[in-house]
Amino acid sequence: MTQHSKKLSAWAILAGVLSIGLCPFVTVAAIPAGLLALRDVRVNGRQGRRLAWAAIVIAIVVTPTTTLGMWWWNAHVRIPLKAGPAAVLKAGQEGEIQRFLRETGGEGNAKEATAFFVSLTSDLGMIRSTRLSKAEMATEPDDAVESWEIWVPYEAMFDQGAATVTARFLVNAPDRGWVTAFDRFKVTLPSGQVLTYPSTHEAQAP
C-alpha cells in the first residue's frame, strides 16, 4: 500500500476536533482520542500521526484554560445570578453602605444609597431571600464587544411581604472593566410604587 493510498485515521480527526473545543470535558477527551489515533496509525497503517500528536498537545495546553474559564464563569456569574441580590441589599439595609457600594462596583453615592434603603426598609422591612422569577430577562449590551449586562427579575421576600426586585447584573463595561456585580435595582412594591437605585433615568429597568 502506497503512502498516498493510506486513509486518514478517524480517531485523529476526532482528536483534532475535540482539542479545539471550549469545554474542558471536550478538550480533555482529545487526549485518549489522540492516543487511540496513534495506535490506529501504528497497527493499521493509517495516516494522522502528526494530527494526533498536535491534538494531544493542544488538549494538554487548552484544558486547564477552559477549566479555569468555566470555574470563573460559574463562581462569578452563574451562582450570583441564581442566588440574586439578597445579600448585597441586606448589607445596605443593615447600614453597611460602604460594603454595598463596594459590592455594586464602587460607582454609587452613599447619600443616595442610604435614602434608598431607608425607603425600602420602611415599606417592606428587611429582605429575607430572592429567587429567580419566571418573568423574561432583558439583555442590554452597551457595545457588542466591550460590555454585557442583563436585567434579571427576582421574587423577593421581606419581613412585611413579597415584592418584585429587578436587578441589573453587569459583567463588563468599557470604562470599568470586569465588574460582575449587581449595580442597579428596581423594587416594585405591592402598592405599585417603584423604588429605584440609583434614581437616575438610566437606572430604570427595561
Quote the longest CA-to-CA distance of the chain.
86
Domains of the chain, residue spans: 3-79, 84-203
Per-residue pLDDT tens digits for 17-42? 999 988 899 999 999 999 999 999 99
What's the fold here for domain 84-203?
Nuclear Transport Factor 2; Chain: A, (3.10.450)
CA torsion 190→193→195→196, rounded to 10°? 120
Full-model pTM: 0.73
| Structural contact between residues 57 and 99, judged by C-beta atoms closer than 8 angstroms | no
What is the residue-averaged pLDDT of the chain? 87
Q: Is 45 left (phi over 0), alpha (psi -120 to 50) or beta?
A: left
